[in-house]
Amino acid sequence: MEIVYSISAFGILFSMMLALIRAAQGPTVFDRILAVNMFGTMTVLFIGVVGYLTNRPDFLDIALVYALMNFIAIIAVLRYRDFSVDPAEEAENHEHS
Amino acid sequence: MNFIIAASSATHDASTIGGHGTFHYILIMALMMTGIYLILSRSNMIKSIIGLNLFQVAVIMFYVSMGKVEPGTAPILMAEDVPHAEHDGHHDEAHDADSHDAPPAAHSPDPKKDVELGAHTLDHSKKVTVGPTTSKVSKITYSNPLPHVLMLTAIVVGVATTALALSLVVRINEHYGTIEEDELEDKGVLI
Amino acid sequence: MIIHGITIILFLFLYVIAIVIGRSRNLFAAVMLSGIFSLISACLFVIMDAVDVAFTEAAVGAGVSTVLMMIVLNLTSDRESPPVQPKVFPLLVALLTGGVLIYATKDMPAFGDPEALIHQSQTTNHYLWHSFEESHIPNVVTTVLASYRGYDTLGETTVVFTAAVAVMLLLGHVRESETPPKLINDPIALVGAKMLIPYILLFALYVQFHGDFGPGGGFQAGVMFAAAFVLHGMVLSPKHTLKAAPALIIEKLVALGVLLYAAVGIYCLFKGGNFLEYDVLLSHGEKPNPHGQHIGILLVEAGVGLTVFAAMLTLFYKFALRGKA
Amino acid sequence: MSILEIIGSVFLLSGTLVCIIGGIGIVRFPNFFARIHAASVPDTLGAGLCLLGMVVLTCGLSPEQGYDAKLIALIIVKLVSIGIFIFVTSPISGHALAKSAYRDGLGVEPEDDAKSQTQEGAS
């Protein structure tokens, strides 16, 4: 079974590398966010697979925390990046919430 | 395919001749170097703080890597090392005395035997023979928990101090209108 | 060998990220990449068996740190001005320091060597093989953190408290911002986040109380509790979160956690033991008293969780409610 | 290898393959809105297949390997909750991202890459 887990781990690592390339070269800031998001998902899977590879799959808590923190980081990025937003629309949304 | 045996026996060979034994530490030191360079070379304060974080992660990794025992696993006792002890608060004196003459090492004294035992428990495909649960002679090797404890708290303290640095940056920006050390120097604030 | 290969690949990722952070003029990208950096380092911690450290790094480094840095970038500027001249001196210092450190590693025991001096220590072996019979907690890290090295942890909790107080002093008076903080402007994110927040809180409780049996504990759970509120504050606005968790109460909780921790220690003194010697709790005199240890660790972890949660949330409030200069 | 292990391995490996395909897409596609399609593949299908494979493999674990029924149930619950979490969060963040990009005036033509690069530099 180790061979299956290691192929899977290396495949996910390769996929992480590709996401990293996109995060490093941009070109727009959105590409970076996209790549970071995908990288986070890959990390979750990677931790899961490594847990099986080292024969302690009860460490999936960590993967769960990764999924959560990734989401929060992405929301933070979108929230605090200065996007040009229409002020009128913003005020309207303020009332709705 | 039994990678754990291979890895651990390789380490045992290497420990005598100093081969790839300290390789991890060199990797970590190189990471520290990039952190130091980032701190010193950048005039932007946020970049310096990021560099400080990288440096901190490298130091933490150095500590944690010292706690690793090669055929080991995380220091959370597995089911066979957890005797179903009495939960009524009474403590068995005989049990206590028995545990005092237990082997003191985090691994059994004979490294060869240790490797074999570790392989037996960690090999995924093989059947694990559950040992006598009252005995303190464990077949499982655990990594050293002490560096983990120290570094766990260090990370949380690290984020608290990072926040302090960031709040200073915010105040500097409000007062002087810049977060570049070079520009502060030009203004005569920083000497 | 496979684990070694994975380790080396992850280290390569770390170098690439560090170099890209160094070269990038866009601070925004640098902060995001530092988030990835701590994700990868957490993977390495898992491989090096430090699951609790990985847990904390993932929660703190990728979550709270990134959020705080993003807010600060929003308050200041997300562009780095080009350097006046290339600097040789820092490179020399870095190379010299690194060279000395690498030279020093030659004397280190090999990586993972079970014969290394650190693993022969009597204390470590006591922690590993006697902690279960003394406290009935399988996670040795939790036992060492809260019981054997309880003094340390009390000190660390106090440091978190002090840092929170310092940030409160520095950013205390709320500047009224001319441009109010924007909303994320997205009903889907709002609904999704509202749906997730209860489960995040539930999971944080699980982490808090399951820390005895698996990775987790007060530090991680506190960060995750705060993360749920931070998420709420980000999809709505921090002002809405202030209604749910008023800053005055949260600021008092920062101190309450430390006080709870210290109170457990002082109560032990009154019961006739040493400071933070939980054996005397619920005890009739017998010395290794797993029940007392258990209850003591539970209370102490609760104190840690309370302080960390309140400190992180206070940090978020102080930064997020600050107007742009 | 038991039948469960074979099924689980097939799921896990096909999930990995999907992840790699998505990764190639995210590097090779010409502009942001094409890349967001590629990124959604590993986030949903890839992660789903991998987690499904892990669930099946966990079912195949036996008490002789140190896993009793309670532990296996706990692991499966965790895997399922990770799956639900990813399935909820990743489309949300993808949607928020696409919306922000659209509002920021990002185009869909391949040559927009060069233009937006200067935009990022200027902003």
| Statement to judge: residues C152 and C38 lie in one domain | no
Q: CB distance D64–B127 less than 8 Å? A: yes
Where residue B96 falls among pLDDT bands split at 50, 70, 90?
Answer: very low
In a domain, C217, yes or no: yes
Q: CB distance B73–A54 less than 8 Å? A: yes
**Could you tell me the two tokens for B148?**
């983990």
Looking at per-residue pLDDT, the higher value among D118 and C127 belongs to C127
- Shortest Cα distance from D62 to chain B (angstroms)? 10
**Could you tell me the two tokens for B141?**
């090797």
- Shortest Cα distance from B98 to chain C (angstroms)? 11
Cβ-based contacts of C176 with chain B (< 8 Å): none
D2 touches chain B (CB under 8 A): no
In a domain, C56, yes or no: yes
Predicted confidence at residue C190, as pLDDT, reads: 84
Q: CB distance A63–D82 less than 8 Å? A: yes
Residue A83, φ and ψ in degrees, nearest 5? -85, 145
Those residues with Cβ within 8 angstroms of residue C191's Cβ, 6 or more apart along the chain or in another chain: none
- Shortest Cα distance from D38 to chain A (angstroms)? 10
The pLDDT > 70 percentage for chain C reads 94
D64 touches chain B (CB under 8 A): yes
Give the rounded distance of the alpha carbon of C118 from its chain centre. 25
In a domain, C312, yes or no: yes
| Statement to judge: residues B11 and B63 lie in one domain | yes
Give the rounded distance of the alpha carbon of D59 from its chain centre. 22
pLDDT single digits (tens) C10-34:
999 999 999 988 888 888 888 889 9
- Shortest Cα distance from A16 to chain D (angstroms)? 7
Phi-psi region of A55 (alpha: psi -120 to 50; beta: other; left: phi over 0): left
Give SS3 for B76: strand
| Statement to judge: residues C12 and C100 lie in one domain | yes
The number of domains in chain B is: 2
HSE of B167 in the Cβ direction (CA atoms, 13 Å)?
26
Predicted confidence at residue C154, as pLDDT, reads: 93
| Residue D62: pLDDT over 80 | no
Locus of tokens 């699951």:
C51
- Shortest Cα distance from B104 to chain C (angstroms)? 6
Locus of tokens 């470590």:
C124
DSSP C74-132: HHS-SBPPPPSS--SHHHHHHHHHHHHHHHHHTTSPPTT-TTSHHHH-HHHHHHHHHHH
Cα separation, B179 vs C186, whole angstroms: 32
Give SS3 for B43: coil
| Statement to judge: residues C28 and C162 lie in one domain | no
C156 touches chain A (CB under 8 A): no
Q: Which domain holds residue C59?
A: 1-107
Residue C61 belongs to domain with CATH number: 1.20.120.1200
Locus of tokens 């391995």:
D9
pLDDT single digits (tens) D7-53:
999 999 999 999 999 999 999 988 888 888 888 888 889 999 999 99
**Could you tell me the two tokens for B119?**
């392989």
Where residue B60 falls among pLDDT bands split at 50, 70, 90?
Answer: very high
In a domain, C244, yes or no: yes
For chain A, the structural domain boundaries read 2-96
Cα separation, B80 vs A60, whole angstroms: 21
| Statement to judge: residues B129 and B158 lie in one domain | no
**What average pLDDT does chain B have?**
68
Cα separation, B87 vs C289, whole angstroms: 10
The number of domains in chain C is: 2
DSSP D49-72: HHHHHHHHHHHH--GGGT--HHHH
Predicted confidence at residue B125, as pLDDT, reads: 36
| Statement to judge: residues B5 and B61 lie in one domain | yes
Q: CB distance C35–A47 less than 8 Å? A: no
pLDDT single digits (tens) B110-160:
444 343 333 333 333 333 333 333 334 567 788 888 889 989 889 988 999
In a domain, B64, yes or no: yes
Residue C276, φ and ψ in degrees, nearest 5? 60, 30
Give the rounded distance of the alpha carbon of B136 from its chain centre. 25
**Could you tell me the two tokens for D65?**
């390997």
Those residues with Cβ within 8 angstroms of residue B117's Cβ, 6 or more apart along the chain or in another chain: B108, B139, B141
In a domain, C295, yes or no: yes
Predicted confidence at residue C323, as pLDDT, reads: 74
| Statement to judge: residues B139 and B150 lie in one domain | no
Q: Which domain holds residue B139?
A: 92-143
C235 touches chain A (CB under 8 A): yes
Please say which residue of B143, B158, B176 terminates a domain: B143
| Statement to judge: residues C161 and C281 lie in one domain | yes
| Residue B16: pLDDT over 50 | no
Q: CB distance B1–A2 less than 8 Å? A: yes
| Statement to judge: residues C146 and C76 lie in one domain | no
pLDDT single digits (tens) B157-176:
899 999 999 999 998 888 88
In a domain, B31, yes or no: yes
Predicted confidence at residue B123, as pLDDT, reads: 36
| Statement to judge: residues C102 and C149 lie in one domain | no
| Residue D67: pLDDT over 80 | no
| Statement to judge: residues C103 and C145 lie in one domain | no
Omega cis (within 30) before D63: no
**What average pLDDT does chain A have?**
80
Length of chain A equals: 97
The most distant pair of C-alpha atoms in chain B lies apart, rounded to whole Å, by: 75
- Helical axes C218-235 vs A60-80, angle rounded to 10°: 30
| Statement to judge: residues B121 and B172 lie in one domain | no
Q: CB distance C40–A66 less than 8 Å? A: no
Residue A13, φ and ψ in degrees, nearest 5? -60, -40
In a domain, B78, yes or no: no
In a domain, B85, yes or no: no
Q: How far is CA D49 from CA B62, B185, C223, D16, D57, in A?
A: 36, 56, 30, 8, 12
Least Cα distance to D27 among B183, A35, B4 occurs for A35
Cα separation, C273 vs C282, whole angstroms: 12
Give the mutation candidate from C87, C129, C151, C306 for the B interface (greatest B CB count, under 10 A): C129
Predicted confidence at residue C285, as pLDDT, reads: 67
Q: How many helices (H) and strands (E) does chain C have?
A: 14, 0
Q: What is the DSSP letter of A26?
A: -
| Residue D63: pLDDT over 90 | no
| Statement to judge: residues B97 and B182 lie in one domain | no
Residue C26, φ and ψ in degrees, nearest 5? -90, 110
D68 touches chain B (CB under 8 A): yes
| Statement to judge: residues B106 and B151 lie in one domain | no
| Parts of chain A with a pLDDT under 50 | 84-97
Give the mutation candidate from D84, D86, D92, D118 for the C interface (greatest C CB count, under 10 A): D92
Walking along chain C (325 residues) 10 residues at a time, the average pLDDT comes out as 86 92 85 90 89 89 88 82 74 90 84 80 82 84 88 92 92 63 68 89 91 86 92 85 88 93 91 84 75 88 93 90 75
Locus of tokens 């990220």:
C17
In a domain, C136, yes or no: no
Looking at per-residue pLDDT, the higher value among B81 and D122 belongs to B81
